[in-house]
């Protein structure tokens, strides 16, 4: 059975609910899924034995891009996660009325590329309330690349 790990940072629960949706969809496809809040995850070696890592984070700040608080230490330690050569997908919630719409997603995407991970297509940037249809379409597309 393929294994997926979802690590999310979420302040008001939107990215958390997207994580739960992705987990449900992956489980429906036969994956064994572990969902971890960024506030609790042990980053070192977290990708070991995992076939696909999903990283989700909302964006805060105003003029500058700020990652959701709990995800900041995860990003700082991401080089210890063992992402080299791993399948990674990135997603997050934001609001397009801000200058840097889902800027955290771009920051994470850039970092995982630097670490030699294999990005599973375009990242998912959710504007406003999460939409299950959009999440399903994206997750379906991502899994065809694993």
Ligand X SMILES: Cc1cc2nc3c(=O)[nH]c(=O)nc-3n(C[C@H](O)[C@H](O)[C@H](O)COP(=O)(O)O)c2cc1C
Q: Applying CB under 6 A, which residues contact ligand X? A: 10-15, 58-62, 68, 93-95, 98, 100-103
Q: Given the complex with ligand X, which of 86 and 111 has the nearer CB atom? A: 111
First-residue to last-residue Cα distance in the chain: 13
| Strand ranges in the chain using DSSP code E only, listed in sequence order | 3-9, 32-37, 52-57, 59-60, 66-67, 87-94, 118-119, 124-127
Smallest distance from ligand X to CB 59, Å = 4
Q: Given the complex with ligand X, which of 54 and 60 has the nearer CB atom? A: 60
> Which residues sit opposite 71 in a β-bridge?
none
Smallest distance from ligand X to CB 9, Å = 7
Q: Given the complex with ligand X, which of 15 and 115 has the nearer CB atom? A: 15
């Amino acid at each position: 059975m393929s294994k997926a790990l979802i690590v999310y940072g979420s302040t008001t629960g939107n990215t958390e609910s997207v994580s739960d949706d992705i987990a449900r969809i992956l489980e429906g496809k036969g994956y064994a899924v572990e969902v971890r809040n960024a506030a609790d995850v042990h980053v070192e070696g977290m990708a070991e034995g995992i076939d696909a890592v999903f990283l989700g984070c909302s964006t805060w700040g105003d003029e500058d891009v700020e990652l959701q608080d709990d995800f900041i230490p995860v990003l700082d330690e991401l080089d210890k996660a063992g992402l080299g050569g791993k399948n990674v997908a990135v997603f997050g919630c934001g609001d397009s009325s801000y200058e840097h719409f889902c800027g955290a997603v771009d920051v994470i995407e850039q970092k995982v590329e630097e670490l030699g991970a294999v990005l599973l297509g375009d990242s998912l940037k959710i504007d406003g309330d999460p939409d299950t249809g959009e999440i399903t379409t994206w997750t379906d597309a991502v899994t065809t690349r694993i």
